[in-house]
Amino acid sequence: MRFSGKVALITGSNSGIGRATALAMAKEGAEGIVVHYSKNENGAKETAEEIRKLGVTALIVKADLRTGSEAKKLVDATIGEFGKIDILVNNAGMFDGFVPFCDQTEELWDHAFDLNVKGAFMCCKYAVPHMLEKKKGVIINIASAAGVEGGGGGAAYTCSKHAVIGLTMQITAELGRKGIRANTVCPGLIRTGMVEDLLNSPEFMDSINGTPAGRVGEVEDTTKLILFLASDDSSYMHGDTILIDGGLIVG
C-alpha cells in the first residue's frame, strides 16, 4: 500500500500505460486518481469505473494539454476535488510514425512539441505551487528511448522526447531542495494502441525480436517502474533518466 492517502494526477490515463498506472496506484491504496483524457471519453470512463471498483475515488477531466489554460483547468479540478496533488505523471503524448525528415511538416512539429513538451511543462507549472505548499511532491515525465538516441521515431517525436528529459532536469535543479522530486521514464516499444501499426510490421518485429529481451514490452513492465519512482522506495532518485526498453538501444 505504497500510495495510501496519496492523490495522483495521470495524464492520458484513458488507455495504455496511463490506464495501467492509474489502476496499479489504486490497487496500492491511493486516496484518489485523476483520470485525464482529451478525446477518448469512453476509455476514461472505463478506467474510472475500474478504479472505483477498487474503492478509490476517481475524477474524470477532459483537457487539451496543448493549451496552457486547459492544463490549468485540469490541475484546478484536481485541487477542487481533493485539495492536493501528491503525484503527477505526465504520460499524455503523441508519436509521429517515423515520418521521414524531409517530409516532416511544421504542423507535425508543432503538434509534437505542444503536446509532448508544452503539455508536460504546463501541468508541472500549475501543479508545482500546490506541491510546494506541502514541501513535497513527485513528478514523473514519460519520455521515450527516442529521447536518448536518434532513430527511435521521426524528428518531431525524437526531439520532443529529448526536451522532456531536459524539463525533468531543470525541475530537479530548481526545485529538488524544495521537496519536489522529478524523474524521467524512457520506454522502448511497449504494446499500446499508439504503436499498433509497428506491431503489425513483420520487418519491424524482426528487429525487436533481435534485441536482448527478445520481445515487445508490455504496459505492466513500464508501470512497475513508474510506481517505484512515484513511491518512497526511490526517495534518493532525483533528475534521473531511466530506460525500460528491453535492451533496444543496445541491441
Q: Between residues 107 and 194, which one has the greater pLDDT?
A: 107
Neighbours of 212 (CB within 10 A): 11
Whole-number pLDDT of residue 28: 98
pTM of the shown model:
0.96
Residue 251 burial by Cβ neighbours in a 10 Å radius (0-12, 13-18, 19+): middle
Q: Is 157 considered catalytic here? A: yes
In the predicted structure, residue 202 carries a pLDDT above the cut 90:
no
**What span, in angstroms and rounded, lies between the C-alpha atoms of 231 and 202?**
38
Residues for the chain: how many in total?
A: 251
Q: What is the pLDDT of residues 116-172, one digit of tens each?
A: 999 999 999 999 999 999 999 999 999 999 999 999 899 999 999 999 999 999 999
Q: What is the pLDDT of residues 169-191, one digit of tens each?
A: 999 999 999 999 999 999 998 98
Q: Which of 184, 188, 243, 198 is nearest to 218 (CA)?
A: 188
Helix locations, the chain, DSSP H: 16-27, 41-53, 68-82, 106-112, 119-134, 155-175, 196-199, 202-209, 219-230
pLDDT surpassing 80 at residue 251? no
> pLDDT tens across 46-91, in order?
999 999 999 999 999 999 999 999 999 999 999 999 999 999 999 9
144-153: per-residue pLDDT in tens?
Answer: 999 999 998 9
Topology (CATH) of 7-244: Rossmann fold (3.40.50)
71 touches 115 (CB < 8 A):
no
Tell me the pLDDT tens digit for each residue of 222-243: 999 999 999 999 999 999 999 9
Q: Reduced to 3 states, what is the DSSP secondary structure of residue 188?
A: coil
Instruction: Assign 208 a pLDDT band (cuts: 50, 70, 90).
Output: confident
The C-alpha atoms of residue 233 and residue 67 are separated, in whole angstroms, by 34
Please determine, for residue 250, whether its predicted confidence score (pLDDT) is greater than 90. Answer: no
d(CA 11, CA 38): 9
